[in-house]
């Protein structure tokens, strides 16, 4: 049966860290066909642009499991929370476009893992604040920008991903990585 367990798990070494290094945003439906092998992204058939956001500090991807015994259903609520320092007019335009759309998101964590969130349905902006801070040393930027989505599977690891190209291991993908130039 497809829901039978197939592996155990030991207590791992304490050699991992939290937080996110970068997020790549892809306009909804631009990925084309995503091929999964053992729940890992092994190929993508699209030609698309990835908009890379380097992040520092308190940024996270959380995935809640929602299950109903009565309904016989399970889904995964993906929540990406970002803090973008330094308020710019260019960021305001991109925030508006992000809020209007529902991008697919590739998350690069600080352990070198790349995960595709919002694979089927994209992630929608569900909250956040544009702030100038109250005191001289307070943050000026976009805080607690929250993107959420519901998917059948948790975010999928991407095979062969690199910092230069998160889709490097996907032979059919033609990804243009657009890196920010703000200062």
In a domain, residue 54? The reply is: yes
In a domain, residue 2? The reply is: no
User: Are 28 and 147 a contacting pair, CB within 8 Å?
Assistant: no
User: Are 31 and 104 a contacting pair, CB within 8 Å?
Assistant: yes
Can you say whether the dihedral through the CA atoms of 11, 17, 18, 22 is positive or negative? negative
- What are phi and psi for residue 57, nearest 5 degrees? 90, -145
pLDDT, mean of residues 157-171 = 92
In a domain, residue 24? The reply is: yes
In a domain, residue 67? The reply is: yes
User: Are 145 and 99 a contacting pair, CB within 8 Å?
Assistant: no
Domain residues for the domain of 81 are 20-179
In a domain, residue 32? The reply is: yes
Number of domain units in the chain: 1
What tens digit of pLDDT does each residue of 71-80 get?
999 999 999 9
In a domain, residue 3? The reply is: no
Distance CA 114, CA 33 (A): 18
The pTM of the full predicted model, rounded to 2 decimals, is 0.91
What tens digit of pLDDT does each residue of 8-51 get?
878 878 888 889 999 999 999 999 899 999 999 999 998 999 99
């Amino acid at each position: 049966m497809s829901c039978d367990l197939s592996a155990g798990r030991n207590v791992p070494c304490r050699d991992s860290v939290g937080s996110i290094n970068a997020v790549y945003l892809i306009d909804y439906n631009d990925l084309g066909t995503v091929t999964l092998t053992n729940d890992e992204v092994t190929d993508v058939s699209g030609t698309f642009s990835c908009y890379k956001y380097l992040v520092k500090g308190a940024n996270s991807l959380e995935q809640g499991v929602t299950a109903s015994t009565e309904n016989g259903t399970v889904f995964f609520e993906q929540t990406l929370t970002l803090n973008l320092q330094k308020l710019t007019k260019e960021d305001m335009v991109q925030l508006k476009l992000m809020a209007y759309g529902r991008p697919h998101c590739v998350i690069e964590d600080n352990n070198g893992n790349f995960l595709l969130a919002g694979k089927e349905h994209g992630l929608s902006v569900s909250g956040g604040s544009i702030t100038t801070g109250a005191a001289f040393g307070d943050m000026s930027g976009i805080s607690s920008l929250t993107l959420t989505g519901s998917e059948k599977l948790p975010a999928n690891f991407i095979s062969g991903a690199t910092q230069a190209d998160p889709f490097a291991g996907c032979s059919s993908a033609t990804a243009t990585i657009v890196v920010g130039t703000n200062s």
